[in-house]
Amino acid sequence: MPTFHKITIVKISRPKEPEINNEIQWVSESLGLFGDRDKEKSCFRVFLELVKSNKENILLSSDEIAERSHLSRGTVIHHLNRLMDSGLVLNHRNRYMLRVSNLGSLVNQIHHEIDEYFREIKRMAEEIDRKI
C-alpha cells in the first residue's frame, strides 16, 4: 500500500453548523489537503466526489468527476495529480479512488503513518545525540 508523501496538519475551528459538506471540508482542511489558493474550492469538490464514489463503491474517470463537480477536465486532472502526489488518491486504469474506503480509515491510516515516522525521527535524533 502506498504511503502518504506530504500531509500538513492544520488546527482550525470545527464548523459551527452540523452540515455534511462543512464537516467534510473541516476534516480535509485540517489535513491540509487544500491550500489557500483553492479559492473556488475546486480541489475540495474533486475530493468530495471521490468520497461519495467510495461510498458507492465505484471508481470515477476524470470526465465523470468533472461532470459531477461542474469543473473543467483540466482542473480536475490538476487536482487529481496533486492528490495522487500526496498519496491520498489512487489511479487504476484511468479511474480514480481514495486509497482507503472512508474518511475514518483515511484518518486512521494517516495517524498510523505519522506515528511510525515520528518513531523513526526519534531514533535518528537519539543516534545523533549519542554521536555528539
Q: What is the pLDDT of residues 5-55, one digit of tens each?
A: 677 888 989 999 889 888 988 988 888 777 767 767 898 899 999 999 998
Residue-averaged pLDDT of the chain? 89
What pLDDT is stored for residue 3 in this prediction?
Answer: 67
Q: In this structure, how many other beta carbons lie within 10 angstroms of the beta carbon of residue 14?
A: 10
Cα 6 to chain centroid distance, Å, stands at 10
CA 113 to CA 4: how far, in whole Å?
8
Name which residue leads in pLDDT, 76 or 22: 76
% of residues, the chain, pLDDT over 90: 50
pTM as predicted: 0.77
Domains of the chain, by residue range, sit at 20-131
Please give the sequence-ordered ranges of beta strands (E in DSSP) within 21-80, or none if there are none: none
pLDDT for residue 65: 97
The arithmetic mean of pLDDT across residues 96-103, rounded, is: 88
Grid coordinates standing for 14? 470545527
CATH fold of the domain at 20-131: Arc Repressor Mutant, subunit A (1.10.10)
- 91 φ, ψ to 5°? -115, 125
The Cα–Cα gap between 37 and 64 comes to 24
Per-residue pLDDT band for 118 (boundaries 50, 70, 90) equals very high
Burial readout 52-77 (b: 16 or more C-beta within 10 A, e: otherwise): ebbeeeebbebebbbebbebeeebbe
